[in-house]
Structure 1
Amino acid sequence: MREAARRARAIGVTEDGDRQVPDSAYLRYVALGDSQTEGLGDGDDVRGLRGWADRLAEQLARSSPDLVYANLAVRGRLAGQVRAEQLEPALALRPDLVTVVAGVNDVLRPRFDADEVVAHLDAMFAALTAQGARVATLTFPDVARMTPLARPIGHRVLALNDGIRVAARRHGVVVAETSHHPVVTDPRLWSADRLHAAPLGHARIAAAVAQALDLPGSDDSWTRPLPADLSAPSGLRAVRAELRWAGSFLGPWIARRVRGRSSGDGRTAKRPVLLPVTVPAEDLS
């Protein structure tokens, strides 16, 4: 009864049962996933990570001040690990909104089975929607447009996106179609490692999911291109940049895979329980 009353207040239901605002307010948001949802690239492990899911929670809290939010994502997790480690804790939190974003780590592994990855996502979609949660996910950009060295796995991303769309339709899951828009591969939206979004990229992901969920104040401005980047390297400078990236990020990443290690070894979720959300001061009106 208490939870029902809190939700009624959050969505603007009067004592007479009249709805005052659209049913776009949520009380319990839980995020599942890997490093992108954990927030890598937006802050750091010393000052703390923000990330797109935190940013989405902040936007939700502006219209749902009673919102509580948990982030179960852990860097390096494969889709099967997200399902095995995060699904049951998420269900136990009884969320009314869940985001599930996983599969990129699978794409980057030597062995990739799109059907297997999508099966894990499908199972999570099924369990969460069966419990009554609204679920949202997103599609991924073509990594070959971000770095030429990734062209051999470009077809994997396309297969994963196709599978996500099919599974989402099956369970009524909302999909933020980030893959369709050229701006998502603009280098300025990505960290130096080209695997994790930069703060601007995380902001755009949050805006994409907000629009897919039709949240108050959301629109398609996240799809618009950035001003022309006159400082972008070209020719020999671009080749050198690729080589620096390979030595600084690709090489160490491959070495971890060969040793059977992950960046998430020994790590746990940064926000495993539902907590109130503080809206940043600059976002308060």
Structure 2
Amino acid sequence: MSEHRLRYVALGDSFTEGVGDPNKHLPNGVRGWADRVAEKLAKDQPGWEYANLAVRSKRLRHIAAEQLERAVDLRPTLITLYAGGNDILDAGTSVPQLLADYEELVAPLAATGARVLLFTGYDVNVTPALRLLRKRHQLYNDGVRRIADAYGAVLVDYWAFSAYQDRRMWGPDRLHMSKAGHKYMASQVLDLLGVPHSVKLKDWDPPVPKTFREWEREQRRWIHDWVLPLAGRKIRRVTLGDNLPPRWPIPVVVPPKGGLRRLVRDEGLPTATPGP
């Protein structure tokens, strides 16, 4: 294998898989910030390979069990890891234990010699009930910052990105970034990597205030479409990631022109969108 091989491997859950950024032409029906980063890397320096092992709904223990060994075996030169966000939302999660498990996940990734990027979590303002999780998020993020410093990783401080205070950066479920949110995240990662790009935050008009009736209708729709199905899955102990494969399990050479969509078209790769 060439010593000059450039290989980017992404690990994680729905955040890294690309949920919230729909694209029917790509595997699992989504695109996401990691795909966008891979394409800009290849455009800047042709020859980059890309694997994305992330699967929606995965907890940190799943990422460690299902993605870690594979990632190390791929001998990457660049790694991104986002893990723990789903654990934070689970009742009874011990943040100190979660951080201990997180460090055990980071250590072998850092030992590969690859450049490692770690992410803090964002304080998603979904509903007042979830504000109770803010302290848990803060403790987790402080731990991620400490671990990034200890292992020489690059920190992507998602928590500090004020752009995500705009609700248009979020999808209809209010938990996953929208297409605009994924684009902006890609720009932040590329800036940290020193890769040139033209990705910019969308210049929106100020949001139009909603009437109480509009707000109430929106709340009822959100509860019906997203909250109740999520509660039902928790009761049944199933997730949207069950039996769902990673989007890019085998490294692919990203075309400098046309990107991953061109690769899918030329190689005839599957693009089926998972059901709800």
The two structures have a TM-score, normalised by structure 2, of: 0.85
Q: 1:115-171 CA distances to partner (integer Å, 9 max, x unpaired)?
A: 222223212221011111110022222113x43342222222222211111111110
Q: What is the distance in 2 between the residues matched to 1:279 and 1:148?
A: 45
Q: 1:165-221 CA distances to partner (integer Å, 9 max, x unpaired)?
A: 1111110111111211321131111110011111111111111112222323489x6
Aligned to 1:186: 166
Q: Does 1:198 align with 2:175?
A: no
Kept in 2, the 8 Å contact 1:211–1:218? The answer is: no
Q: What is the distance in 2 between the residues matched to 1:35 and 1:62?
A: 25
Residue type at the aligned position of 2:132 = P
Q: Does 1:31 align with 2:19?
A: no
The structure, 1 or 2, with the larger RCO (C-alpha pairs under 8 Å, 6+ apart) is 2
Superposed CA RMSD in Å reads: 2.3
Q: 1:79 to 1:45 in 2, by over 3 A?
A: farther
Aligned to 2:94: 113
1:158 aligned counterpart, secondary structure: helix
Q: Does 1:241 align with 2:222?
A: no
Q: 2:194 aligns with which of 184, 193, 214?
A: 214
Q: 2:51 aligns with which of 70, 74, 89?
A: 70
| Pairs aligned (count) | 258
Q: 1:211-261 CA distances to partner (integer Å, 9 max, x unpaired)?
A: 222323489x65xx8534333435443344233212221121111111111
Aligned to 1:41: 20
Q: What is the distance in 2 between the residues matched to 1:73 and 1:157?
A: 21
Q: 1:3-38 CA distances to partner (integer Å, 9 max, x unpaired)?
A: 12x45xxxxxxxxxxxxxxxxxxx100000001111
Q: Does 1:134 align with 2:115?
A: yes
Q: 2:246 aligns with which of 256, 269, 273?
A: 269
Q: What is the distance in 2 between the residues matched to 1:119 and 1:35?
A: 22
Q: Does 1:175 align with 2:174?
A: no
Q: 2:130 aligns with which of 143, 147, 150?
A: 150
2:40 aligned counterpart, secondary structure: helix
Q: What is the distance in 2 between the residues matched to 1:75 and 1:157?
A: 19
Q: 1:265-285 CA distances to partner (integer Å, 9 max, x unpaired)?
A: 111211111101134649xxx
Q: 1:228 to 1:178 in 2, by over 3 A?
A: farther
Kept in 1, the 8 Å contact 2:46–2:256? The answer is: no
Q: 2:74 aligns with which of 70, 93, 98?
A: 93
Q: 1:38-95 CA distances to partner (integer Å, 9 max, x unpaired)?
A: 1111125675321111011011111221100000001110011101110000000000
Residue type at the aligned position of 1:199 = K
Identity percentage of aligned residues:
37
The two structures have a TM-score, normalised by structure 1, of: 0.83
Listed as ranges, the gaps of 5+ residues in structure 2 are 260-276
Kept in 2, the 8 Å contact 1:136–1:173? The answer is: yes
Kept in 2, the 8 Å contact 1:42–1:197? The answer is: yes
Q: 1:227 aligns with which of 204, 207, 219?
A: 204
